[in-house]
Amino acid sequence: MKTQFLGKTLSGPFTIPSGIVTCSAPIIQAFFDSIPEVGVLTTKSIGPTPRAGYREPVLSQYAPGCFVNAVGLTNPGAEKAAEMMAELVIPEDRFLLISIFGGSVEEYVSVAKIMAPYADGLELNLSCPHAKGYGMAMGQDPALVQEITAAVKAAVNIPVVPKLTPNVPNIGEIAQAAVAGGADAICAINTVGPGNHLSYGENVLSNGMGGMSGKGVLPLALKCVNEITNAVDCPVIACGGISSADNVRAFETLGANIFGIGSALVGMTTAQIGQYFKTLTNDLTSAKSNKAEALIRYDIDMDFQPLTLVSNEKVCDDIAILTFDKKVGVQAGEFIFLWIPGLGEKPFSALTDDPFSLVIINLGSLPTP
Protein backbone atom coordinates (compact mmCIF):
# COMPACT_ATOMS: atom_id res chain seq x y z
CA MET A 1 0.00 0.00 0.00
CA LYS A 2 2.24 2.82 -1.25
CA THR A 3 1.35 6.07 0.49
CA GLN A 4 2.33 9.70 -0.07
CA PHE A 5 3.23 11.54 3.13
CA LEU A 6 4.96 14.91 3.48
CA GLY A 7 7.06 14.60 0.34
CA LYS A 8 7.96 10.90 0.56
CA THR A 9 6.45 7.85 -1.09
CA LEU A 10 6.13 5.36 1.76
CA SER A 11 6.01 1.57 1.70
CA GLY A 12 2.92 1.51 3.95
CA PRO A 13 0.32 3.78 5.57
CA PHE A 14 0.80 2.67 9.18
CA THR A 15 2.75 3.94 12.16
CA ILE A 16 3.16 2.77 15.73
CA PRO A 17 2.36 5.84 17.84
CA SER A 18 4.97 7.38 20.11
CA GLY A 19 6.02 5.45 23.22
CA ILE A 20 4.69 2.03 22.21
CA VAL A 21 7.07 -0.67 20.92
CA THR A 22 9.42 1.56 18.88
CA CYS A 23 11.14 3.02 21.96
CA SER A 24 14.80 2.29 21.11
CA ALA A 25 16.97 2.74 18.02
CA PRO A 26 17.59 -1.03 17.46
CA ILE A 27 13.84 -1.71 17.53
CA ILE A 28 13.21 1.13 15.06
CA GLN A 29 15.92 -0.28 12.77
CA ALA A 30 14.37 -3.76 13.01
CA PHE A 31 11.01 -2.31 11.93
CA PHE A 32 12.69 -0.41 9.05
CA ASP A 33 14.35 -3.66 7.96
CA SER A 34 11.49 -6.11 8.33
CA ILE A 35 8.01 -4.49 8.52
CA PRO A 36 7.51 -2.33 5.40
CA GLU A 37 3.79 -1.83 6.15
CA VAL A 38 4.89 0.55 8.93
CA GLY A 39 5.93 3.44 6.68
CA VAL A 40 6.19 6.04 9.48
CA LEU A 41 8.37 5.17 12.48
CA THR A 42 7.50 7.38 15.44
CA THR A 43 9.99 7.53 18.32
CA LYS A 44 9.30 7.76 22.04
CA SER A 45 9.01 11.46 23.02
CA ILE A 46 12.42 13.04 23.62
CA GLY A 47 12.95 16.00 25.93
CA PRO A 48 15.79 18.34 26.82
CA THR A 49 17.31 16.28 29.66
CA PRO A 50 17.32 12.59 30.69
CA ARG A 51 14.23 11.48 32.64
CA ALA A 52 14.02 8.16 34.48
CA GLY A 53 10.21 8.29 34.42
CA TYR A 54 7.98 6.74 37.07
CA ARG A 55 8.48 3.47 38.89
CA GLU A 56 6.58 0.45 37.63
CA PRO A 57 3.69 -0.29 37.28
CA VAL A 58 3.61 2.17 34.38
CA LEU A 59 1.07 0.32 32.18
CA SER A 60 -2.07 -1.51 33.21
CA GLN A 61 -4.96 -3.19 31.39
CA TYR A 62 -8.36 -2.34 32.89
CA ALA A 63 -10.40 -4.39 30.38
CA PRO A 64 -9.36 -6.50 27.37
CA GLY A 65 -7.66 -4.17 24.88
CA CYS A 66 -8.05 -1.11 27.17
CA PHE A 67 -5.06 0.41 28.97
CA VAL A 68 -3.96 3.19 31.30
CA ASN A 69 -0.33 4.30 31.36
CA ALA A 70 1.87 6.75 33.19
CA VAL A 71 5.41 6.11 32.02
CA GLY A 72 6.54 9.63 32.93
CA LEU A 73 8.23 10.60 29.64
CA THR A 74 11.22 8.29 30.22
CA ASN A 75 13.93 9.30 27.75
CA PRO A 76 17.72 9.68 27.56
CA GLY A 77 17.65 13.43 26.79
CA ALA A 78 18.12 15.06 23.39
CA GLU A 79 21.92 14.86 23.13
CA LYS A 80 22.08 11.11 23.83
CA ALA A 81 18.96 10.41 21.74
CA ALA A 82 20.54 12.25 18.79
CA GLU A 83 23.61 10.00 19.03
CA MET A 84 21.33 6.95 18.93
CA MET A 85 19.23 8.22 16.01
CA ALA A 86 22.42 9.00 14.05
CA GLU A 87 23.05 5.22 13.86
CA LEU A 88 19.78 4.55 12.01
CA VAL A 89 19.76 3.72 8.31
CA ILE A 90 16.43 5.09 7.05
CA PRO A 91 15.22 3.40 3.84
CA GLU A 92 14.07 5.76 1.05
CA ASP A 93 10.45 4.73 1.48
CA ARG A 94 10.19 5.17 5.27
CA PHE A 95 9.66 8.30 7.35
CA LEU A 96 11.37 8.81 10.72
CA LEU A 97 9.10 10.98 12.86
CA ILE A 98 10.95 12.03 16.01
CA SER A 99 8.59 12.97 18.83
CA ILE A 100 9.77 15.79 21.09
CA PHE A 101 8.49 17.55 24.20
CA GLY A 102 9.52 20.44 26.41
CA GLY A 103 8.36 22.48 29.38
CA SER A 104 8.53 25.82 27.53
CA VAL A 105 8.67 27.22 23.99
CA GLU A 106 12.46 27.55 24.35
CA GLU A 107 12.84 23.90 25.37
CA TYR A 108 10.79 22.70 22.36
CA VAL A 109 13.02 24.78 20.07
CA SER A 110 16.27 23.57 21.60
CA VAL A 111 15.25 19.87 21.41
CA ALA A 112 13.97 20.42 17.84
CA LYS A 113 17.32 21.84 16.73
CA ILE A 114 19.23 18.89 18.23
CA MET A 115 16.96 16.18 16.77
CA ALA A 116 16.09 17.68 13.34
CA PRO A 117 19.29 16.58 11.54
CA TYR A 118 18.33 12.92 12.12
CA ALA A 119 14.60 13.09 11.34
CA ASP A 120 12.28 13.31 8.33
CA GLY A 121 9.83 15.21 10.53
CA LEU A 122 9.26 16.25 14.15
CA GLU A 123 6.13 15.36 16.11
CA LEU A 124 5.38 17.83 18.90
CA ASN A 125 3.97 16.06 21.94
CA LEU A 126 1.61 18.80 23.13
CA SER A 127 -0.58 16.37 24.90
CA CYS A 128 0.79 14.10 27.61
CA PRO A 129 -1.96 13.97 30.25
CA HIS A 130 0.01 12.77 33.27
CA ALA A 131 3.51 14.33 33.31
CA LYS A 132 3.23 17.50 35.36
CA GLY A 133 4.34 20.67 33.57
CA TYR A 134 4.65 18.99 30.16
CA GLY A 135 2.36 18.56 27.24
CA MET A 136 -1.32 18.64 27.90
CA ALA A 137 -1.67 22.02 29.60
CA MET A 138 0.20 23.56 26.65
CA GLY A 139 -1.82 21.60 24.13
CA GLN A 140 -5.09 22.87 25.61
CA ASP A 141 -4.22 26.50 24.89
CA PRO A 142 -4.63 27.43 21.19
CA ALA A 143 -2.34 30.48 21.48
CA LEU A 144 0.48 28.37 22.96
CA VAL A 145 -0.01 25.61 20.38
CA GLN A 146 0.37 28.21 17.63
CA GLU A 147 3.39 29.80 19.32
CA ILE A 148 5.24 26.50 19.92
CA THR A 149 4.51 25.26 16.39
CA ALA A 150 5.64 28.56 14.81
CA ALA A 151 8.81 28.68 16.94
CA VAL A 152 9.80 25.09 16.03
CA LYS A 153 8.95 25.69 12.35
CA ALA A 154 11.22 28.73 12.32
CA ALA A 155 14.07 26.71 13.86
CA VAL A 156 14.09 23.65 11.55
CA ASN A 157 13.56 22.97 7.87
CA ILE A 158 11.71 19.64 8.08
CA PRO A 159 7.95 19.01 8.51
CA VAL A 160 6.45 19.65 11.94
CA VAL A 161 3.49 17.59 13.19
CA PRO A 162 1.77 18.75 16.41
CA LYS A 163 0.14 15.87 18.30
CA LEU A 164 -3.09 16.95 19.94
CA THR A 165 -4.83 16.02 23.16
CA PRO A 166 -8.48 14.89 23.05
CA ASN A 167 -8.94 16.50 26.48
CA VAL A 168 -10.26 19.80 25.10
CA PRO A 169 -13.80 21.00 24.35
CA ASN A 170 -12.98 21.95 20.73
CA ILE A 171 -10.09 20.08 19.10
CA GLY A 172 -10.87 21.68 15.72
CA GLU A 173 -9.92 25.07 17.18
CA ILE A 174 -6.60 23.65 18.44
CA ALA A 175 -5.92 22.12 15.01
CA GLN A 176 -6.56 25.52 13.38
CA ALA A 177 -4.09 27.13 15.79
CA ALA A 178 -1.48 24.48 14.92
CA VAL A 179 -1.96 25.08 11.19
CA ALA A 180 -1.80 28.87 11.73
CA GLY A 181 1.57 28.21 13.38
CA GLY A 182 2.72 26.36 10.26
CA ALA A 183 1.94 22.71 11.08
CA ASP A 184 2.56 20.43 8.08
CA ALA A 185 0.31 17.66 9.45
CA ILE A 186 -1.57 16.85 12.66
CA CYS A 187 -1.45 13.71 14.79
CA ALA A 188 -4.43 12.84 17.01
CA ILE A 189 -5.14 11.59 19.55
CA ASN A 190 -2.87 11.26 22.54
CA THR A 191 -4.20 9.39 25.57
CA VAL A 192 -7.46 10.34 27.25
CA GLY A 193 -7.87 11.41 30.85
CA PRO A 194 -5.96 10.94 33.06
CA GLY A 195 -7.95 8.28 34.90
CA ASN A 196 -7.50 5.77 37.70
CA HIS A 197 -7.42 1.98 37.74
CA LEU A 198 -7.53 0.20 41.09
CA SER A 199 -6.86 -3.43 41.94
CA TYR A 200 -7.83 -4.75 45.40
CA GLY A 201 -8.37 -1.14 46.47
CA GLU A 202 -4.93 0.11 45.42
CA ASN A 203 -4.06 2.38 42.50
CA VAL A 204 -2.13 0.17 40.11
CA LEU A 205 -0.04 2.87 38.42
CA SER A 206 2.72 4.18 40.67
CA ASN A 207 1.77 7.68 39.50
CA GLY A 208 -1.81 7.06 40.62
CA MET A 209 -3.44 8.30 37.41
CA GLY A 210 -2.65 7.55 33.78
CA GLY A 211 -3.74 8.27 30.22
CA MET A 212 -6.24 5.86 28.66
CA SER A 213 -5.55 4.18 25.32
CA GLY A 214 -6.72 1.23 23.28
CA LYS A 215 -10.16 -0.02 22.28
CA GLY A 216 -12.10 2.11 24.79
CA VAL A 217 -10.93 5.43 23.31
CA LEU A 218 -11.80 4.62 19.68
CA PRO A 219 -15.14 6.52 19.55
CA LEU A 220 -13.50 9.64 21.00
CA ALA A 221 -10.57 9.37 18.55
CA LEU A 222 -13.03 9.12 15.63
CA LYS A 223 -14.92 12.19 16.89
CA CYS A 224 -11.67 14.16 17.28
CA VAL A 225 -10.32 13.22 13.84
CA ASN A 226 -13.67 14.13 12.28
CA GLU A 227 -13.54 17.57 13.93
CA ILE A 228 -9.91 18.06 12.83
CA THR A 229 -10.48 17.14 9.18
CA ASN A 230 -13.52 19.44 9.11
CA ALA A 231 -11.48 22.30 10.58
CA VAL A 232 -8.17 22.12 8.66
CA ASP A 233 -6.80 20.93 5.35
CA CYS A 234 -3.55 19.04 6.05
CA PRO A 235 -2.50 15.38 6.34
CA VAL A 236 -3.67 13.67 9.53
CA ILE A 237 -2.07 10.79 11.43
CA ALA A 238 -4.97 9.10 13.23
CA CYS A 239 -4.48 6.97 16.32
CA GLY A 240 -6.50 5.97 19.35
CA GLY A 241 -8.02 2.54 19.69
CA ILE A 242 -7.37 1.21 16.19
CA SER A 243 -7.26 -2.57 16.15
CA SER A 244 -8.90 -3.71 12.91
CA ALA A 245 -9.07 -2.98 9.19
CA ASP A 246 -12.59 -1.74 9.71
CA ASN A 247 -11.31 0.84 12.24
CA VAL A 248 -8.75 1.95 9.62
CA ARG A 249 -11.53 2.28 7.02
CA ALA A 250 -13.48 4.47 9.45
CA PHE A 251 -10.56 6.88 9.92
CA GLU A 252 -9.87 6.84 6.16
CA THR A 253 -13.48 7.82 5.50
CA LEU A 254 -13.02 10.76 7.89
CA GLY A 255 -10.00 11.94 5.87
CA ALA A 256 -7.00 10.55 7.81
CA ASN A 257 -3.86 9.61 5.83
CA ILE A 258 -1.65 7.59 8.21
CA PHE A 259 -3.00 5.14 10.80
CA GLY A 260 -1.31 4.59 14.15
CA ILE A 261 -1.72 1.28 15.95
CA GLY A 262 -0.24 1.13 19.44
CA SER A 263 -2.08 -0.49 22.34
CA ALA A 264 -3.46 -3.21 20.07
CA LEU A 265 0.09 -4.60 19.75
CA VAL A 266 0.56 -5.23 23.50
CA GLY A 267 1.70 -8.80 24.13
CA MET A 268 2.77 -9.55 20.53
CA THR A 269 6.29 -10.64 19.53
CA THR A 270 8.03 -8.80 16.68
CA ALA A 271 7.16 -11.68 14.33
CA GLN A 272 3.49 -11.50 15.40
CA ILE A 273 3.47 -7.72 14.82
CA GLY A 274 4.85 -8.29 11.31
CA GLN A 275 2.13 -10.85 10.60
CA TYR A 276 -0.52 -8.49 12.05
CA PHE A 277 0.44 -5.65 9.66
CA LYS A 278 0.53 -8.06 6.68
CA THR A 279 -2.95 -9.34 7.53
CA LEU A 280 -4.23 -5.79 8.05
CA THR A 281 -2.88 -4.73 4.65
CA ASN A 282 -4.46 -7.76 3.02
CA ASP A 283 -7.79 -6.92 4.75
CA LEU A 284 -7.64 -3.41 3.31
CA THR A 285 -6.57 -4.32 -0.21
CA SER A 286 -7.25 -7.59 -1.97
CA ALA A 287 -9.48 -9.31 0.58
CA LYS A 288 -11.69 -6.44 1.85
CA SER A 289 -11.96 -8.50 5.03
CA ASN A 290 -11.46 -7.93 8.77
CA LYS A 291 -9.11 -10.75 9.83
CA ALA A 292 -6.28 -8.82 11.56
CA GLU A 293 -8.38 -8.19 14.67
CA ALA A 294 -8.29 -11.94 15.45
CA LEU A 295 -4.50 -11.71 15.93
CA ILE A 296 -4.76 -9.27 18.85
CA ARG A 297 -3.87 -10.68 22.27
CA TYR A 298 -7.15 -9.99 24.06
CA ASP A 299 -6.27 -13.08 26.14
CA ILE A 300 -3.33 -11.34 27.88
CA ASP A 301 -3.95 -11.56 31.63
CA MET A 302 -2.62 -8.47 33.40
CA ASP A 303 -4.81 -8.90 36.49
CA PHE A 304 -3.20 -9.24 39.90
CA GLN A 305 -3.89 -11.93 42.50
CA PRO A 306 -3.26 -11.25 46.18
CA LEU A 307 -0.55 -13.35 47.89
CA THR A 308 0.54 -13.34 51.53
CA LEU A 309 4.18 -13.74 52.51
CA VAL A 310 4.45 -16.63 54.99
CA SER A 311 8.21 -16.91 55.39
CA ASN A 312 11.32 -14.85 54.75
CA GLU A 313 14.27 -17.17 55.17
CA LYS A 314 17.69 -15.52 55.17
CA VAL A 315 20.20 -17.79 53.36
CA CYS A 316 23.21 -15.47 53.85
CA ASP A 317 23.81 -11.73 54.30
CA ASP A 318 22.37 -10.65 50.94
CA ILE A 319 20.17 -13.60 49.83
CA ALA A 320 16.71 -14.54 51.10
CA ILE A 321 13.99 -17.00 50.06
CA LEU A 322 10.46 -15.60 50.20
CA THR A 323 7.65 -18.15 50.40
CA PHE A 324 4.01 -17.20 49.84
CA ASP A 325 0.72 -18.81 50.83
CA LYS A 326 -0.40 -20.32 47.51
CA LYS A 327 0.36 -21.69 44.07
CA VAL A 328 0.27 -19.16 41.21
CA GLY A 329 0.56 -21.52 38.22
CA VAL A 330 3.85 -20.20 36.81
CA GLN A 331 5.43 -22.45 34.15
CA ALA A 332 9.15 -23.17 33.60
CA GLY A 333 10.74 -20.27 31.70
CA GLU A 334 7.99 -17.82 32.71
CA PHE A 335 8.30 -15.01 35.22
CA ILE A 336 5.75 -13.16 37.28
CA PHE A 337 5.34 -9.45 37.97
CA LEU A 338 5.43 -8.95 41.72
CA TRP A 339 3.70 -5.72 42.73
CA ILE A 340 3.91 -4.30 46.23
CA PRO A 341 1.39 -1.43 46.29
CA GLY A 342 3.12 1.83 47.10
CA LEU A 343 6.59 0.36 46.48
CA GLY A 344 6.71 -0.81 42.88
CA GLU A 345 6.64 -3.80 40.55
CA LYS A 346 9.42 -6.02 39.19
CA PRO A 347 9.57 -9.28 37.23
CA PHE A 348 10.85 -12.36 39.14
CA SER A 349 11.36 -15.96 38.14
CA ALA A 350 9.97 -18.59 40.51
CA LEU A 351 11.97 -20.88 42.75
CA THR A 352 8.91 -23.11 43.30
CA ASP A 353 5.30 -22.79 42.18
CA ASP A 354 3.38 -24.69 44.87
CA PRO A 355 3.55 -22.83 47.14
CA PHE A 356 5.02 -19.92 45.18
CA SER A 357 8.53 -18.93 46.34
CA LEU A 358 11.34 -16.84 44.94
CA VAL A 359 14.92 -15.85 45.70
CA ILE A 360 15.80 -12.24 46.48
CA ILE A 361 19.38 -11.00 46.14
CA ASN A 362 20.07 -7.61 47.69
CA LEU A 363 21.98 -5.58 45.11
CA GLY A 364 21.74 -2.29 47.05
CA SER A 365 19.61 0.78 46.34
CA LEU A 366 19.05 2.46 43.02
CA PRO A 367 20.26 6.04 42.73
CA THR A 368 17.32 8.43 43.26
CA PRO A 369 15.98 9.39 39.81
Ligand X SMILES: Cc1cc2nc3c(=O)[nH]c(=O)nc-3n(C[C@H](O)[C@H](O)[C@H](O)COP(=O)(O)O)c2cc1C
Q: How far is the CB of 94 from ligand X (least distance, A)?
A: 18
Q: State yes or no: residue 67 binds ligand X (CB under 6 A).
A: yes
Separation CA 48–CA 315 (nearest Å): 45
The conformational region for residue 133 under phi > 0 = left, psi -120 to 50 = alpha, else beta, is: left
Kindly identify the residues of this chain, within the stretch 303-362, that bind ligand X according to CB under 6 A. none
- Does 23 participate in catalysis according to the annotation? no
Torsion of CA 52, 54, 56, 59, to 10 degrees: -110
Instruction: Please name the residues in contact with 266: beta carbons below 8 A apart, sequence gap of 6 or more.
Output: 20, 59, 61, 67, 214, 297, 300
Which C-beta is closer to ligand X: that of 292 or that of 358? 292
Per CB under 6 A, the list member of 18, 149, 165, 203 interacting with ligand X is 18
Asked if 71 interacts with ligand X (CB under 6 A), we say: yes
Least distance (Å) from ligand X to the CB of residue 329? 27
Least distance (Å) between residue 189 CB and ligand X: 6
Q: Return d(Cα 44, Cα 59) in angstroms, integer.
A: 15
- Which of residues 99, 165, 226, 281 is near ligand X by CB under 6 A? 99
H helix runs in 87-157, sequence order: 105-115, 136-139, 142-155
Provide the edge-to-edge strand list for the sheet that holds 356-361: 309-316, 319-324, 356-361, 352-353
Tell me how far, at minimum, the Cβ of 40 lies from ligand X, in Å. Answer: 12
| C-alpha to C-alpha distance for 168 and 220, rounded to whole angstroms | 11
Residue number of the CB closest to ligand X reads: 19
Considering only 3, 10, 13, 20, the residue that binds ligand X (CB under 6 A) is 20
User: How far is residue 57's CA from residue 121's CA, in Å, rounded to a whole number?
Assistant: 32
Q: Which is nearer to ligand X, 130 or 153 (CB)?
A: 130
Residue 191 binding ligand X, by CB under 6 A: yes
Using the rule CB under 6 A, is 181 a contact of ligand X?
A: no
Query: In angstroms, what is the minimal distance from the CB of 64 to ligand X?
Result: 14
User: Which member of 28, 41, 59, 248 binds ligand X (CB under 6 A)?
Assistant: 59
Does residue 261 bind ligand X (CB under 6 A)?
A: yes
Could you give the CA distance from residue 108 to residue 124 in angstroms, rounded to a whole number?
A: 8
User: What is the distance in angstroms between the CA of the first residue and the CA of the last residue of the chain?
Assistant: 44
Residues 137-176 within binding reach of ligand X (CB under 6 A): 163
Question: Contact 68/8 with Cβ under 8 angstroms?
Answer: no
Interface residue with ligand X among 190, 244, 279, 281 (CB under 6 A) is 190
Interaction between residue 22 and ligand X (CB under 6 A): no
Residue from 15, 22, 60, 125 that binds ligand X (CB under 6 A)?
Answer: 125
359 Cβ contact partners less than 8 Å away, ≥ 6 residues apart: 315, 319, 320, 321, 322, 351
Distances (CA, A) of 339 to 201, 206, 241: 13, 10, 27
Residues in 212-231 that interact with ligand X by CB under 6 A: 213-214, 217
Residue ranges in contact with ligand X by CB under 6 A: 17-20, 44-45, 59, 67, 69, 71, 99, 125, 163, 190-191, 213-214, 217, 239-242, 260-264
Report the catalytic residues.
128
